[in-house]
């Protein structure tokens, strides 16, 4: 081996490090492309587990196709490697824009995603076999495989850490894609300069790489305008603000005096009727509890539920837990949110915790008189765990014996099985689980489930709520003593019809399946 190294000309000895460095970079880019496609699909289609599993599975399959195809490349391997990097950089860098266009302008998103994965996966599958055969000219087969695979795996690790912690929160999904494409083409440009004497048309490849980088650079620079252009097709109203966090994409739209918040494309509230959701969610459990001194609010980082909680003078502290600091910062500092939530996020009685709700409740030692769970629908397992029996057992430990908890529970009409699954899961933990609902024009009929260790019979409870409601009813727009009883009456078509519904647990996550089935039916 040493003799082979000595026979190499002095000016070629750094070529092996260049190739191994290229392996590191192309491996990083390959993982980035998988993560980008999975993340965009999760934003646009929901079901993050399904999207990531589908993308990774298809990507690996087509990488196998690419590896097999590489056997037919016998000559000019460096040229072919550089060609692959240029094509991969342009297509991969444009992948997010392509997917947004497919979703916004066509009904063929999954076909577009499949074709994109097929092309990118095949190109990625070509890379390592080609590089391995090139590196073999500088080393033995044993050393070549060890070196190439080592750099490949390290690159994969770096990408999986950098993407969620740095690129996605600071650059956003579109800009990250263009940057990764630039990195891929940069590998082609650098190799075409280093190995120019060994290439058939190295100068042309350099010029092509520079042109591709310029194109991707323009996309990087105008990425905000590009994503806004396509997003405008997704929303009926004018987009006035967007934010990308490590957890979700936030979009605010406006039509006249109606502001709407969307998270990953799903409507969270409309200022035209949000009170019809938040008043039943907050005031019914607040009035039903014997102690409101300390309140736990899970989710609701927009501050809209919080403004209702703070109307009670006996509330001494509210612990608001929302995993996304971008959401809570917007709600506390943005003028639009401060107007909508009446500055509730800056009330001295409020403590904000940016952490996972499950972990917070698991680690907490405090006791609460009221617990309000205002989390997104259980569209994937990361959210489904917050509707599980195990989570409700943790909440029961944190709830005063005479306290009350409530959770939003999706629509009893559009997601009937999911709604009653949440009710049944709470019934498996609490002695009392009482469902109720309200009609919200932006969402349709919406459901809630209130649970407690002890509550009076339903009719007696309603009477007590009617007696207490006037203390706050003057400041409410929807909830009044006279309409309160109707919220607890479910029409025949809304009542539980499937007695085989299961309790949602961490090890089965049946609720996610019920919810996804409802989405498919109504879509």
Cα–Cα–Cα angle for 356, 42, 40, nearest 5°? 115
Structure tokens at 81: 């490697």
Tokens 């809630």: give the residue.
448
Rounded to whole angstroms, the Cα distance separating 202 from 59 reads 30
User: Which residues form the catalytic set?
Assistant: 374
Rounded to whole angstroms, the Cα distance separating 134 from 123 reads 17
Do the Cβ atoms of 478 and 281 come closer than 8 Å? no
Do the Cβ atoms of 270 and 262 come closer than 8 Å? no
In the chain, DSSP finds a helix count (H) and a strand count (E) of 21, 11
Q: Choose among 336, 166, 163: nearest CA to 259.
A: 336
E strand intervals along 160-313: 238-244, 249-255, 258-263, 266-270, 294-299
Do the Cβ atoms of 391 and 358 come closer than 8 Å? yes
Question: Which stretches of 136-201 are DSSP H helices?
Answer: 141-162, 168-194
Do the Cβ atoms of 351 and 261 come closer than 8 Å? no
Cβ partners under 8 Å of residue 422, min gap 6? 387, 407, 409, 410, 449, 504, 511
Structure tokens at 175: 């800009």
Structure tokens at 59: 């990507």
H or E segment at 335?
helix 335-340
Name the DSSP letter for residue 156.
Answer: H
């Amino acid at each position: 081996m040493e003799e082979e190294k000595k026979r190499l000309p002095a000016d070629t000895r750094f070529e092996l490090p260049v190739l191994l460095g290229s392996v590191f970079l192309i491996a990083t880019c390959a993982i980035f492309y998988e993560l980008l496609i999975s993340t965009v699909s999760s934003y646009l289609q929901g079901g993050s587990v399904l999207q990531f599993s589908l993308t990774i599975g298809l990507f690996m399959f087509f990488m196998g196709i690419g590896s097999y195809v590489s056997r037919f490349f016998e000559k000019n391997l460096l040229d072919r490697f550089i060609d692959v990097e240029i094509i991969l950089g342009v297509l991969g860098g444009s992948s997010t824009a392509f997917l947004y266009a497919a979703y916004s302008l066509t009904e063929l998103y999954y076909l577009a995603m499949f074709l994109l994965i097929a092309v990118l996966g095949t190109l990625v599958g070509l890379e390592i076999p080609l590089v391995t055969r090139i590196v073999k000219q500088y080393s033995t087969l044993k050393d070549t495989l060890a070196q190439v695979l080592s750099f490949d795996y390290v690159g994969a690790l770096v990408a999986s850490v950098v993407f969620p912690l740095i690129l996605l929160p600071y650059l956003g999904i579109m800009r990250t894609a263009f940057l990764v494409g630039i990195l891929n083409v940069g590998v082609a440009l650098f190799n075409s300069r280093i190995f120019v004497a060994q290439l058939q048309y190295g100068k042309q490849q350099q010029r092509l790489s520079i042109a591709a980088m310029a194109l991707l650079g323009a996309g990087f620079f105008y990425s905000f305008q590009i994503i806004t252009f396509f997003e405008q097709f997704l929303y009926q109203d004018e987009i006035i603000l967007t934010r990308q966090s490590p957890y979700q994409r936030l979009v605010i739209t406006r039509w006249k005096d109606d502001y709407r918040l969307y998270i990953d494309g799903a409507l969270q509230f409309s200022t035209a009727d949000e009170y019809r959701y938040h008043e039943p969610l907050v005031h019914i459990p607040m009035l039903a509890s014997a102690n409101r001194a300390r309140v736990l609010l899970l989710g609701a980082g927009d501050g809209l539920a919080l403004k209702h909680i703070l109307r009670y003078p006996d509330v001494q502290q509210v612990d608001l837990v929302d995993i996304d600091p971008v959401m809570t910062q917007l709600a506390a500092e943005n003028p639009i949110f401060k107007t909508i939530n009446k500055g509730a996020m800056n009330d001295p009685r409020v403590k904000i915790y940016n952490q996972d709700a499950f972990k917070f409740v698991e680690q907490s030692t405090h006791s609460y008189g009221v617990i309000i769970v205002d989390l997104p629908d259980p569209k994937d397992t990361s959210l489904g765990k917050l509707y599980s029996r195990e989570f409700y057992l943790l909440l029961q430990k944190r709830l005063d014996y005479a306290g009350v908890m409530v959770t939003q529970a999706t629509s009893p009409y559009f997601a009937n099985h999911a709604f009653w699954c949440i009710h049944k899961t709470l019934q498996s933990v609490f002695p009392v689980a009482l469902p109720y609902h309200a009609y919200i024009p932006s969402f349709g009929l919406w459901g809630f489930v209130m649970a407690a260790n002890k509550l009076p019979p339903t009719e007696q409870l309603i009477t007590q709520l009617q007696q207490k409601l006037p203390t706050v009813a003057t400041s409410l727009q929807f909830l009044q003593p006279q309409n309160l009883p109707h919220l607890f009456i479910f029409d025949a078509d809304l009542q539980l019809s499937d007695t085989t519904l299961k309790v949602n647990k961490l090890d089965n996550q049946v609720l996610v399946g019920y919810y996804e089935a409802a989405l498919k039916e109504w879509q």
